[in-house]
Amino acid sequence: MTRQIRFNAFDMNCVGHQSPGLWAHPRDRSWQYKDLEYWQDLARTLERGIFDGIFIADVVGYYDVYKGSNWHALHQAAQIPVNDPLQLAAPIALATEHLGIGITASTSFEHPYTFARRLSTADHHTKGRVGWNIVTSYLESGAKNVGQDGLKRHDNRYEVAAEYVEVLYKLFEGSWEDGAVLRDRERRIFTDPSKVHEIGHRGRHFTVPGYHLCEPSPQRTPVLYQAGASGPGKAFAGHHAECVFVAAPLKPMLKAYVADVRAQAQAAGRSPRDVLIYNLTTVIVAETDAAAQKKFEDYRSYASCDGALVFMSGWSGIDFGQYAPTDLVKKVETNAIVSMVEHFSSAENPWSIAELARWGGIGGVGPVFVGSPATVADILQEWVAETDVDGFNLAYAVTPESFEDAVNLLVPELQRRGAYPKAYRPGTLREKLFGRGPYLPETHPAHGFRDIEAVKAREAALRPAAAAE
């Protein structure tokens, strides 16, 4: 049986998400990121293409590593200005029926109690089509502007993230029992108080004693996305993530990453297939190979070298503006995205600064595939067969054109080969992705927090401690 490929659209509530400079292309509409009509039009296009979802990235902060300032980030609109992603969930849901909506939010900058309410609200409003992309953040500017001295060390951020998601699991899964909300007009009882529980969380980083503010949403815990590629990031993904995003530019890298994450999931007591893995990719498709190559060269003429190095410097924590274009990328210990530095400074195939800038001009650090529908479909199927990846997180060069080309040209070719779905499954996002119920399965660590007897035992143990205080 031909293995089916999955697509997500990779976007951000900003200008020129992964392709700095291409906002100036005459057909690009990313400058309309402020307009709900733009997002709704895009969402309808993606749903027509049976995309699993639109995955909306985010940063809290700005890129100020390159040449020691944020001048070039502002000058080239390199993810600044940027708006809040979660506010897009409701309007996208209103314009579509099936499309998943993945929202990025950091465990470093917002308290889990207030975030839990915002996320449950989004899951209610979308009728269970929202997911949360769990990130720990990598920009020092973000930490400083929320009153922190700076980012915690990389590994320590994952320690905080582990407790953060534990708090959310307790709120989403254990605070309100099934059947707590009665809506009994005759007896004038809306909620049975005996079925709503304090979570009593007292941890190293967070104290959350009370109840979740929201009644259970369609998925309880929204679908969990994660994009960590470092050792701690992969371990975290193996324990918690349902969908994992990676940016591997080469097949051997991707194959090793996929195998590692699936092994981490199995070690955590989960099925290796409980995790769907998508690789960041940009596809530039036209009717023929020659037309696609011409389109690619047109796009490339708008790419910004400074804008690309703004991103590369911010992601890696290394100021590439201090080097000559011919200098090689060298491994430097930073507090940013560790895995990226390790790849581009590898002893086997070191990159120059100029090569890095040229690579990052379109689509970020993921591969760019150029060709006719048949050519690109061949490449994608080859990557799936050789790496065991489940699908691709498609970035754009020019929006919405890149997505429209994928939907109008590439998707029909893949469907003709039996390598792409022709319809959505019914139900919530989790049901569409995995073909099972709306809640997290028993093998997931969050499920244990739905053990009502254990919840009640924790409550009973907390009462004497609270009285003593």
Query: H or E element: which one contains 191?
Result: strand 189-191
Question: How large is the average pLDDT for residues 404-417?
Answer: 98
Please, which pLDDT band fits residue 347 given cuts at 50, 70 and 90? very low
Q: pTM of this prediction?
A: 0.91
The DSSP secondary structure of 93-160, one letter per residue, reads: HHH-SS-EEEEEEESSSS-HHHHHHHHHHHHHHTTS-EEEEEE----HHHHHHTT-SSPPPHHHHHHH
The span from the CA of 234 to the CA of 37, in Å, is 37
pLDDT at 336 over 50: no
The DSSP secondary structure of 12-73, one letter per residue, reads: ESBSSSSSTTGGGSTT--GGGTT-HHHHHHHHHHHHHTT-SEEEEE--SS----GGGSSHHH
Please, which pLDDT band fits residue 139 given cuts at 50, 70 and 90? low
Cα-based distances in Å from 243 to 53, 321, 420, 454: 11, 35, 18, 28
Q: Name the token pair of 338.
A: 């560790």
Question: How large is the average pLDDT for residues 412-416?
Answer: 98
As a whole number, the mean pLDDT across the chain is 90
Phi then psi for 46, rounded to 5 degrees?
A: -65, -40
> Who contacts 431 (Cβ-Cβ below 8 Å, separation ≥6)?
425, 437, 438
Amino acid in position 234? K
> Who contacts 186 (Cβ-Cβ below 8 Å, separation ≥6)?
none
Read off the pLDDT of residues 264-318 as tens digits, 9 standing for 90 and up. 999 999 999 999 999 999 999 999 999 999 999 999 999 999 999 998 898 888 8
3-state secondary structure (DSSP) of residue 228: coil
Read off the pLDDT of residues 247-273 as tens digits, 9 standing for 90 and up. 998 999 999 999 999 999 999 999 999
Phi then psi for 313, rounded to 5 degrees?
A: -70, -40
The span from the CA of 423 to the CA of 346, in Å, is 42
Query: What local confidence, expressed as pLDDT, does residue 456 receive?
Result: 67
Query: What local confidence, expressed as pLDDT, does residue 232 receive?
Result: 87
Say if residues 431 and 437 touch (Cβ distance below 8 Å): yes
What's the N-to-C CA distance of the chain in angstroms? 63
Query: What local confidence, expressed as pLDDT, does residue 353 receive?
Result: 87
